[in-house]
Amino acid sequence: MTENDHTTAKGDGSLKGKTILVTGAGNGIGRAVSLEYAHQGATVILLGKTKRNLEGVYDEITDYGYPEPAILVVDLADPTGDVFKTIGAAISSEFSQLNGIVHNAAELGMLTPLENYDGALWDHVFQVNVKSPLLVTQQCLPLLKEAPYASIIFTTDESGAKPKGYWGAYGASKAAILHMARIWAIEYANTPIRVNIIDPGPCRTGLRLLTHPGMPMKRYIPPEAITPIYTKLMDGEVLAHNGELFYAQNFINPDLDDRTEKDLATSTT
């Protein structure tokens, strides 16, 4: 994202004073959402497994003069559970409350027939995509409850809503996330905590490159352009929504969509 991108994008400070945790914040959609939240005045807790990537996003945020973020280097694939306890402790040591979580981190695994799927890899994908959002949310609930209202965003995918052959653990995990998020929404419906789900759609990310190798990445929308729905679900408007599925590409910021007519003419999903 360039300086001109943020000059063009709306930055009304709608998230000023809020503290928001974003997982998978080092690149792709997580990076774009973190930058936009900081642009809107939030203090962002950048969580990811690669310190160098998180430091890069940290530098971008501070270079713009936005609120200084925090960094949590955590491998969500750790199956022990101890790492998740450190997340809650680390956040509570610095902040008195948490206004939101964006569960963005994900593992693709392998695109292969189920009959060939490796059991250990299946467990790994479910650890990152399903179990880690559960455990992170549990650890952060005391801080979320301290906020006047809070928002939890889970991330699904088309392969989770509509079964697709060969998408294996990734598709199954995204279906599980959709279901789990709605359970959270039901259980917290009578509280100021709101739980919703976003399907980002096909974006210009590293994961898309893995699933569609050889495809021109310029045909896909840049992740910066789909951030409006992430902001909408973190400000006061979220109180009107709970357990809902939003398609991010219905909320595109056209000023940040850099695709040309030539790119769109050949665009397919």
Q: What is the dihedral of CA 10, 247, 178, 165, to 10 degrees?
A: -130
Cross-strand bridge partners of residue 199: 247
Residue 117 annotated to the active site: no
Which residues lie below 8 Å from residue 57, measured CB to CB, with a gap of 6+?
Answer: 25, 26, 31, 34, 35, 46, 69
Which residues lie below 8 Å from residue 130, measured CB to CB, with a gap of 6+?
Answer: 173, 176, 177, 180
**Single-letter amino acid code for the residue at 112:** T
Spatial contact of 13 and 41, defined as CB atoms under 8 Å apart: yes
Other C-beta atoms lying within 10 Å of the C-beta of residue 183 = 11
What's the start-to-end Cα distance of the chain, in Å? Answer: 23
With CA atoms as reference, report the closest residue to 269 among 206, 224, 204: 204
Task: Provide the 8-state DSSP code for 129.
Answer: I
Spatial contact of 26 and 45, defined as CB atoms under 8 Å apart: no
Catalytic residue among 170, 188, 220, 230: 170
Q: Cα 192 to chain center, whole Å?
A: 21
Tokens for 169, please give them: 């653990």
Tokens for 17, please give them: 């004073």
Residues with catalytic function: 170
